[in-house]
Amino acid sequence: MARIGLLTISDGRDFVHRDIADWARSSEDAITAALEGAGHEVVRAPELVWTNELASSQARLVAEARPDLTIFNYSVWAFPHFSMLAADATPGPLVLLSNIDPVQPGMVGMLAAGGALDQIGRVHGRVWGDVADPETLGRLLVHVRAAQAVGGLRGSTFGRFGGRPMGMYTAVANTDQWLSTFGVDVEEIDQWEIVRRSELVSPARAKEGREWLEKHANVHYDGKQLTPELLERQIRSYHAVRELIDEWNLDFSGIKGQPELTTHFTTMDITEAFLNDPYDWEGPKPTHVTATESDMDAALTMQILKLISGDPVLFADVRHYHADRDIWDLANSGQHATWYAARSDDPAENLRRVHLYPEVFFFPAGGASVHHIAAPGEMTLARLTRHSGHYRMQVVRGAFEDYGDEVNEQLARQSTFEWPHAFTRMDVPAAEFLSRFGANHIHAVPGDYLAELEQVCRLLAVDYQRLGG
């Protein structure tokens, strides 16, 4: 649920305002009803804005409620300087909303106010039409979700477990830039804390986790790389990280893993999969975005996708391009959230399709990798990357595809079979993607959130770069 401020701007001539006030108020009633119907809280200015003094005072009153987004409503012709004063008293994201009505020139009011705001460089969104129409409401809700995501980042903390993995420049960001651009602080935590604390997890808790995984997933012990003891070590690591998340009030995280933990302790695949999942062996829980290889811009992208969609977010390597099918194998080095196996609310339904395989030669410490083939469906794929120090959100539309067990296996065996795979058709020519995409990792959520990402970028002053399309 978002908190949405609402001000209706009117005509500055007293005799005109008197005649149109009821009409303007009724349009505000309709907007309130539509937004409340969509599950949001609306904070209305007590009075319609028809003087300069009311513009500032009413906007200040609404701003005191710290709304996620403020809407200026134009259902009648509105003097533009009222919008300028009200915008000046509105610190958060702003949307101008107008009717399309031949009698009352609200649309002209919106264009005049919008142009004035453009002149002073004040970022705002614009929506037009009747909010009772689901299509118009849908366009308004895009701005609500984008504002919630941007507001949700501000004041949050990223937990960075370990440092730069295997020389990856793209996994490391500048903390000054993170705070100034996104409002996110970074807490540095040594991976030693995972090792130390994992030993303190009670044997009963680790055993219960293992038995739950053995019951619901398909565990392939081999007596060497994957034993019950190693699986319990992975479960203990999960609980150790959960404890650190609570202790440091972390909102999202990344774990380096390679090479120290994957060579000498165990992989973080179970930890990362179940932090990203909406459940674990102890029941339902909120997702906690966690990036493999402590990839900071990955985690930040994932957190934005989570705040927009509410769903678990996929982290993957751009591992292979099957040119004959024009599809990509997005296979992370050991885990995808298990939710992606069937995208079911029932963990058992997802885990039925999950295989815990002994880790491959890259990871001599052993443990289970979390293998499954992602369920098909439309996806939004994205990644924050940097060019010459400036952030850009690279976005591509796509779909996960499923070819049946036999072909899936044949495709997965061409790369690292034991890792999870999402066979992805991307709405961009391969040559364009490979020439322009600025990282080895990509992230995804089900559905189409391109419009939300574009608004998020405008609010953050980050470049929006759609690949393909």
Ligand X SMILES: C[C@H](O)[C@@H](O)[C@@H](O)C(=O)CO
Q: Which residues bind ligand X (CB under 6 A)?
A: 258, 293, 317, 333, 362, 440-441
* CA 85 vs CA 21, 53, 116, 223, 429: distances in Å: 20, 9, 11, 71, 47
Q: Kindly tell me which of 56 and 440 has the beta carbon lying closer to ligand X.
A: 440
Type of residue numbered 209: G
The 8-class DSSP code of residue 9 comes to B
Shortest reach from residue 321's CB to ligand X, in Å: 15
Shortest reach from residue 245's CB to ligand X, in Å: 23
Shortest reach from residue 164's CB to ligand X, in Å: 12
Q: Which residue is nearest to ligand X (CB)?
A: 333
Query: 189 φ, ψ to 5°?
Result: -130, 130
- Burial of 236: CB neighbours in 10 Å, binned 0-12, 13-18, 19+: buried
What residues form DSSP beta bridges with 357?
369
Q: Kindly tell me which of 90 and 258 has the beta carbon lying closer to ligand X.
A: 258
Shortest reach from residue 408's CB to ligand X, in Å: 20
Backbone region of residue 366 per phi and psi (left: phi > 0; alpha: psi in -120 to 50; beta: other values) = left
Closest by CA to 257, choosing from 228, 229, 288, 292, is 292
Q: Kindly tell me which of 252 and 419 has the beta carbon lying closer to ligand X.
A: 419
The 8-class DSSP code of residue 138 comes to H
Shortest reach from residue 303's CB to ligand X, in Å: 19
Closest by CA to 92, choosing from 59, 114, 116, is 59
The residue length of the chain stands at: 469
Helix (H, G, I), strand (E, B) or coil at 95: strand
Determine the Cα–Cα distance for residues 367 and 360; give it in Å rounded to an integer. Answer: 9
Q: Kindly tell me which of 421 and 441 has the beta carbon lying closer to ligand X.
A: 441
Shortest reach from residue 167's CB to ligand X, in Å: 11
Q: Kindly tell me which of 31 and 444 has the beta carbon lying closer to ligand X.
A: 444
Shortest reach from residue 258's CB to ligand X, in Å: 6
Type of residue numbered 214: E
Q: Kindly tell me which of 258 and 294 has the beta carbon lying closer to ligand X.
A: 258
Q: Kindly tell me which of 114 and 254 has the beta carbon lying closer to ligand X.
A: 254
Shortest reach from residue 441's CB to ligand X, in Å: 6
Q: Kindly tell me which of 124 and 336 has the beta carbon lying closer to ligand X.
A: 336
The residues near 121 (Cβ < 8 Å, ≥ 6 apart) are none
